[in-house]
Amino acid sequence: MALLLSKSRKLICLKPKIGFLSSVYHHHTLISPNLRTPFRILGLNQPHFASFRFESTKVQTQLNSMHSIHNDSQVLDFPGGEVKFTSHLNFIPETREERVHCYRVLDDYGYPITSDFAQIEKEVALKIFTDMVTLQTMDTIFYEAQRQGRISFYLTTVGEEAINIASAAALKTDDFIFPQYRESGVLLWRGFTIQEFANQLFGNKHDYGKGRQMPIHYGSNKHNYITVASTVATQLPHAVGAAYALKMDAKNACTIVYFGDGGSSTGDFHAALNFAAVLDAPVIFFCRNNGFAISTPVSDQFRSDGVVTKGQAYGIRSIRVDGNDALAVFTAVHEARKMAVTEHKPILVEALTYRAGHHSTSDDSTKYRPAKEIDWWRRERDPVSRFRKWIEREGWLNSQVESELCSNIRKQVLQAIQVAEKQEKPPIKDVFTDVYDVSPANLQEQEISIRETIRKHPQDYPTDVPL
């Protein structure tokens, strides 16, 4: 088949091999991941091409050269870039000799081991600490509320407070957040109130999701926080598309997408990384490698050196950080954001941590890992106390201020639960709205049916749901 190529807007006419090309009607733009310059293909009026034949073009020359090369000194001028030939039959080993190092700033005792980190002002450091404590307190009290049967489900961020808060602190408010579900601290950092969290958990009439989602499926337009979707890793391609849109609109912003090690075992992860790389999308892939996908340990999930090494396979700049070190997380995301926004590059951050709580209230993790291991991480690797030691030494916090702060936060969370619990639920009609512009016949029938059923069996329906 013959076609016309134009590179850098200069037309190169290919001699038709089969002489049926007489006119050109449509322009198609093909952005090749392998070539720096986009090639504009001027095609036939038929919408589909079965195959291409290159003639008198650079590509054809490259393809021809593949056949003529036969010793070590020559290179293969491949469309994806030059490749040196070798006569050594070498397979790339499946692992590197040494695992990728993990960037940290604070040691286990809160002492800086380097001066190579982003400077944080006192106010920001205190907000990081306050929000980490708030997150821990919310987790403790909301978890207990679920155990008391007051809410149906909960999921904590225990052990991942630094990942949540310090990564959020390094972003700008115009950046869009695509969470998995263990990142409520990012929303907290952005100003979602404890009352708003409680309203969602209780699914009352003030919940922005109108009570239609399980607890912990937070979302906020105001805070550029895309609503949590439990389907693991679906947020990854979404974040890439949104990042590409930000770039097209010349916005000074990026997206960040959080996911667990389990999320990296899905097809969506690989599709997202590849798209992001070839589209030069300003997206930060933030992997919370906490060792487990529910009961599946990372050793049963991949044979690679964690997740960080997968970035390079897709042509993505990557870093591994200590997820329990707030200063390391802050610095890595701060730098990642700069590169994503100014260079229009995707960046992969793998934060090593440990899920120090159960997967959710539907899980008992002592069934598949030793309780002693959990205790050890909670005691010895707690990211909040490590950061506290650092700010104490900086002279920004003392024990009296800390204890007032803790008791104040506790009161606020308890108060928010009491308020949320007393609120009415959203009205029954909300079950049937917001998907279709005009309600289809089957939904109308279902609404009539449920109202009739409630009329017949009122004792089986909650009294706080307005009809």
In contact, 166 and 386? CB cutoff 8 Å: no
From the number of C-beta atoms within 10 Å of its C-beta (0-12, 13-18, 19+), residue 163 rates as buried
CA dist list (Å): 436 to 275, 367, 440, 442: 31, 44, 7, 12
Q: Is 290 in the site for ligand TPP (CB under 6 A)?
A: yes
CA dist list (Å): 439 to 190, 306, 338, 446, 451: 35, 47, 45, 11, 16
Q: Is 331 in the site for ligand TPP (CB under 6 A)?
A: no
Please state the closest distance from residue 351 (CB atom) to ligand TPP, in A: 11
C-alpha to C-alpha distance for 434 and 228, rounded to whole angstroms: 17
Q: Is 345 in the site for ligand TPP (CB under 6 A)?
A: no
- Judged by beta carbon, residue 182 or residue 217, the one nearer ligand TPP is 182
Q: Is 294 in the site for ligand TPP (CB under 6 A)?
A: yes
Q: Give the single-character DSSP code of 458.
A: G
3-class SS string, 256-322? EEEEECCHHHCHHHHHHHHHHHHHCCCEEEEEEECCEECCEEHHHCCCCCCCHHHHHHCCCEEEEEE
Q: Is 87 in the site for ligand TPP (CB under 6 A)?
A: no
One of 74, 230, 252, 408 touching ligand TPP (CB under 6 A)? 230
Name residues contacting ligand TPP, limited to 355-374 (CB under 6 A).
Answer: 355, 359
Q: Is 292 in the site for ligand TPP (CB under 6 A)?
A: yes
One of 237, 260, 346, 426 touching ligand TPP (CB under 6 A)? 260
Q: Is 263 in the site for ligand TPP (CB under 6 A)?
A: yes
Q: Which residues share a beta bridge with 225?
A: 177, 220
Please state the closest distance from residue 62 (CB atom) to ligand TPP, in A: 41
- Judged by beta carbon, residue 155 or residue 277, the one nearer ligand TPP is 155
- Judged by beta carbon, residue 268 or residue 325, the one nearer ligand TPP is 268
Q: Is 76 in the site for ligand TPP (CB under 6 A)?
A: no
- Residues present in the chain in total: 467
Per-residue exposure over 212-230, b if at least 16 CB sit within 10 Å of its own CB, e if not: ebbbbbbbbeebbbbbbbe
| Binding piece for ligand TPP, criterion CB under 6 A, among 107-115, 162-170, 289-297, 422-430 | 289-297
Q: Is 383 in the site for ligand TPP (CB under 6 A)?
A: no
From the number of C-beta atoms within 10 Å of its C-beta (0-12, 13-18, 19+), residue 9 rates as exposed
| Binding piece for ligand TPP, criterion CB under 6 A, among 132-140, 191-199, 227-235, 458-466 | 227-235
Active-site residues: which are they? 144, 230, 359-360
C-alpha to C-alpha distance for 115 and 110, rounded to whole angstroms: 13
- Judged by beta carbon, residue 167 or residue 204, the one nearer ligand TPP is 167
Please state the closest distance from residue 240 (CB atom) to ligand TPP, in A: 17
Q: Among residues 79, 75, 73, 34, which one has the least CA distance to residue 59?
A: 79
One of 5, 281, 293, 413 touching ligand TPP (CB under 6 A)? 293
Q: Is 232 in the site for ligand TPP (CB under 6 A)?
A: yes
Tokens, residue 81? 């870039």
In contact, 261 and 301? CB cutoff 8 Å: yes
Please state the closest distance from residue 271 (CB atom) to ligand TPP, in A: 14
Determine how β-strand 81-84 pairs with β-strand 75-78. antiparallel
The alpha carbon of 206 is separated from its chain's Cα centroid by a whole number of angstroms, namely 27
Q: Is 262 in the site for ligand TPP (CB under 6 A)?
A: yes
Q: Is 183 in the site for ligand TPP (CB under 6 A)?
A: no
Please state the closest distance from residue 314 (CB atom) to ligand TPP, in A: 19
* CA atoms 85, 90, 91, 97: torsion sign: negative
- Judged by beta carbon, residue 286 or residue 390, the one nearer ligand TPP is 286
- Judged by beta carbon, residue 199 or residue 264, the one nearer ligand TPP is 264
Q: Is 182 in the site for ligand TPP (CB under 6 A)?
A: yes
- Judged by beta carbon, residue 65 or residue 227, the one nearer ligand TPP is 227
One of 196, 261, 322, 382 touching ligand TPP (CB under 6 A)? 261
Residues that bind ligand TPP (CB under 6 A): 182, 230-232, 259-263, 288, 290, 292-294, 355, 359
